Amino acid sequence: MIPQTTVETALNSRCSSGGGHWGVFDESSPPSPEQLALVKRAAEGIPRFTCGRLFVDLEGEWFTLAVEPGAGEGTHVESGMQQQAIYLACAALGLGTCIHNVGVDGRLEGDRHLTARMIVRGLRPPYDGSFWTRSRPSGRKAWLSGNLPDPDTAGGTPLFEAVERASTSARGRAAGTREISQLLWAARGRTPHLYRGREWGMTIPTWAGGQNYTSIHLLREDGLYRYVNWDEAVDRPTHRIERIGDATVGAVRPSCRAVLILGANEETKRALWEVGYMLENLILQAVSLGISYRAELLHPGERERWRRIGIGKPVAAFELP
């Protein structure tokens, strides 16, 4: 039976070991073959933007993810989407997973370019005896409400149903402020899980806990904004946007009410994989919300247009008509 854990609950719980076992894996309760098959199906079922070859190999409890040698940036973004699909599937199933890095740019191994190796294990319930939580960050660094509506951490669409329905675009109702807020949180928001004992959880995994490999911006009719998930002044998680420019969505995408722009902050493949994490989350969240959207990987001419309005290295856009 496919579990009914929702997209939002899986995003909020993200039952991973955070880069190390840290006592969270339960060796006495290994994943079943059926669970591993569901995880693999989620990774192989991501929406595609390129024709590059992707590989998802399962051996025992280990997933090896790879692309073809010489694959372009877009295919590496898709490999990141596959990594995130594994994370979310494990969260929905109450399993633990951990990325074993193969280098900031991956590595060649035979006729494949490896991007990650991921182990899937049984998990000790991390949230007061449960595998899932609807809570926001708490404790010493509790949630600080920002200028966006607080995200819904429950939702109503089962994760695996959203995976089956996911595509690069969809027609639905128009996204308003609340939906845009939810999308920003899904892409890069704060969650209550700990990273190596620190109150540092996010809806996406990060390389060694780094927080600045990528960024997400919002362009709408009243200007360009960057999304902020941590208030540096008080050292607490938050959920807000900060205006950084005068560009308007009508001047760049006349057919859209708003656009989310995903960017890399460094010239590495790990940044592209992280863009993939955000893009996978955005698509699944949009499916759950039932809104119209179109996701795209940006070609060089499009990237230059976004650079001119203040985005350093734009990689993908998520359009909201």
Domain match, 74 and 154 both? no
The tokens describing 47, both together, are 């929406």
Return the number of other C-beta atoms located less than 10 Å from residue 30's C-beta: 16
| C-beta of residue 319 within 8 angstroms of C-beta of residue 294 | yes
Q: Are residues 191 and 76 in the same domain?
A: no
* 132 part of a folded domain: no
Q: What are the structure tokens assigned to 68, written together?
A: 């073809």
Residues 110 and 147 in one domain: no
Pair (47, 155) in one structural domain: no
The verdict on 208 and 61 lying in the same domain is no
CATH number of the domain where residue 89 is located: 3.40.109.10
Is 285 in contact with 189 (CB distance < 8 Å)?
A: no
**pTM (two decimals):** 0.96
At position 233, the amino acid (one-letter code) is: A
User: CB 110: neighbour CB atoms within 10 A?
Assistant: 8
Closest CA to 8 of 139, 164, 230, 183: 183
**Final residue before a domain boundary, out of 122, 155, 170:** 122
In a domain, 45, yes or no: yes
Contact of 208 with 196, CB cutoff 8 Å: no
* 266 falls within a domain: yes
> For residue 21, what pLDDT is reported?
46
Clarify whether residues 238 and 185 are in a common domain. Answer: yes
The H-assigned helical ranges of the chain are 7-13, 33-44, 73-93, 159-165, 177-188, 249-252, 269-289, 300-308
Do 171 and 41 lie in one domain? The reply is: no
Output the CA torsion sign for 162, 238, 199, 268.
positive
One domain for residues 293 and 194? yes
* Residue segments in the chain with a per-residue pLDDT below the cut of 50: 18-21
- Is there a domain that residue 75 lies in? yes
Query: 165 and 283: one domain?
Result: yes
Q: Is residue 108 part of a domain?
A: yes
Strand order in the sheet with 293-297: 144-145, 236-245, 223-231, 214-220, 258-264, 314-320, 293-297, 169-170
CA–CA dist 110, 69 (Å, integer): 9
Amino acid at site 169:
S
DSSP result, 92-129: HHTEEEEEE---TT-EEETTEEEEEEEEEEEB--TBTT
Task: Assess if residue 135 is contained within a domain.
Answer: no
- Do 207 and 289 lie in a common domain? yes
Q: What is the DSSP letter of 140?
A: G
Measured distance CA(300)–CA(315) in Å, rounded: 9
Give the CA distances from residue 272 to residues 42, 130, 206, 254, 286, in Å, rounded to whole numbers and listed in that order: 20, 33, 12, 27, 21
* Predicted pLDDT at 18: 46
Residue 2 in any domain: the answer is no
Residues 189 and 305 in one domain: yes
Q: How many domains does the chain have?
A: 2
The answer to whether position 154 is within a domain reads yes
| Residue 104 backbone zone (phi > 0: left; psi -120 to 50: alpha; other: beta) | alpha
Residue range of the domain that includes 298:
142-320
**Per-residue pLDDT at 26:** 86
Same domain, 74 and 197: no
3-state secondary structure of 90: helix
